[in-house]
Amino acid sequence: MTDHVQYTSDPAGAAQFWSAHVDALERHLSVNTWALTAAAVVLFVYPIARIAIPAVLHGIVPDVVRTVLNLM
């Protein structure tokens, strides 16, 4: 029973544990690794943004234009 109590933690303790791991990761990654990670994120997000943002705008703008024209 005491072993179970040892491994249960409150959410704040879990957040501190996670934060400590992320801080350690940030300290040990080289600049080249950060640059490679940033490039990978840009290559992944850019096409999604190029497709998703126009699709959302295309879906929203015609409704807004119709509403404004109906109010006139």
Q: What is the pLDDT of residues 1-31, one digit of tens each?
A: 455 555 555 666 666 777 777 777 778 878 8
- Each residue's pLDDT tens digit, 37-68: 899 999 999 998 999 988 888 888 888 887 88
Report the SS3 class of residue 72.
coil
Tell me what pLDDT residue 6 has: 55
Q: Tell me the domain boundaries of the chain.
A: 2-71
Tell me what pLDDT residue 25 has: 76
C-alpha pair distances (Å), 58 with each of 22, 66, 67: 39, 13, 15
Tokens of 4: 């179970």
CB 17 within 8 A of CB 9: yes
Tell me what pLDDT residue 17 has: 73
User: Rounded distance, CA 48 to CA 65, Å?
Assistant: 26
CB contact set of 29 (below 8 Å; sequence gap of 6+): 37
Global confidence as pTM: 0.47
Tokens of 11: 């959410």
